[in-house]
Structure 1
């Protein structure tokens, strides 16, 4: 027994974990405080006057647009076994000063959209992100016809497979 007692006396005392816990709590508090300071704009934030002027500028540009409806299209898709139809309806977002010019080009726009949608296969339409891709492709084709600055966006109002 005397040997066991000597071994216990020779072992160094255990260090306290209290400083480690305090350091961890302070690190978490500092990280949370830093996140809040940057998120709220106290650090690296923009001027409120600058952001307000940008907001009013964006509102003015949003108000200065017109929506030109595209004639509804019904397209038969190339299905091997069964006949499927795509019902498509959209609107073009254009600046108000270009509205008349774009309305005059609507037969060409409908022709381009019709030919693009006819080239699609039913398997192409099964991908989850296909609507975004189709929208981007059609917008690009419309902008080639009308001009880049004359058409801001293409809004899909109806896209139904029957």
Structure 2
């Protein structure tokens, strides 16, 4: 019996071991929450804080028509031509400037449609990709804040 009473205590969990881990978790949560708030509110990593995006209401835009463009397709494509028309949604204050740029817009669309592979146009998501690509190119030509959207009003492969 005397041996059991004289034996040193078995090592148990130390009380101070959990404190650094707990402080680390709390610190990580606070830093993560602060970083989320900073990005979400636009304090950091905003696209371009100097450029103000124009906010549109239903009365603040107008349309610039893109006349029908007909493109002859190569014989091996299985179709004879592509017929395409659209509308460019522009800020109302930019309408007259965008009307003057209409020939440039038509040239851009015509050139892009000639460069697109016909097999790509037959894919289910072709119009979505085509619309996004043309819109981005139109926005680059017109400058920031002038063009809001591009609508495809006619798309026929025959």
TM-score normalized by structure 2? 0.61
- Moved segments of 4+, more than 3 Å: none
Question: In structure 2, what is the Cα distance between the partners aligned to 1:79 and 1:134?
Answer: 22
Write the deviation string for residues 95-114 of structure 1: whole angstroms up to 9, x where unpaired: 11000000001111100100
1:160 deviates by: 0.6
Residue 144 of structure 2 corresponds to: 148
The alignment yields a C-alpha RMSD, in angstroms, of: 1.7
Corresponding position of 2:121: 125
Deviation per CA, 1:26-77: give whole Å up to 9, x if none.
xxxxxxxxxxxxxxxxxxxxxxxxxxxxxxxx8x712211011012100112
Q: Residue 85 of structure 1 is aligned with which of 81, 85, 97? A: 81
Q: Choose the corresponding residue for 1:76, options 52, 64, 72.
A: 72
Contact 1:93 1:152 in 2 (8 A): yes
The answer to whether residue 66 in structure 2 is matched with residue 63 in structure 1 is no
Contact 2:66–2:86 (Cα < 8 Å) also in 1: yes
- Within 1, Cα distance between the matches of 2:106 and 2:77? 28
Question: Contact 1:139–1:154 at 8 Å: present in 2 too?
Answer: yes
How many angstroms apart in 1 are the aligned matches of 2:92 and 2:100?
Answer: 14
Unpaired runs of at least 5, structure 2: 1-54
1:113 counterpart (109, 114, 138): 109
Distance 1:79 1:104, change over 3 A: same
Distance 1:99 1:137, change over 3 A: same
Shift of 1:78: 3.2
**Partner in structure 2 of residue 158 of structure 1:** 154
Once residues 99 and 142 of structure 1 are traced to their aligned partners in structure 2, the CA distance between those partners, rounded to angstroms, is: 14
| CA displacement at 1:120 relative to structure 2 | 1.6
TM-score with structure 1 setting the length:
0.60
Task: Return the alpha-carbon distance in structure 2 between the equivalents of residues 102 and 78 of structure 1.
Answer: 33
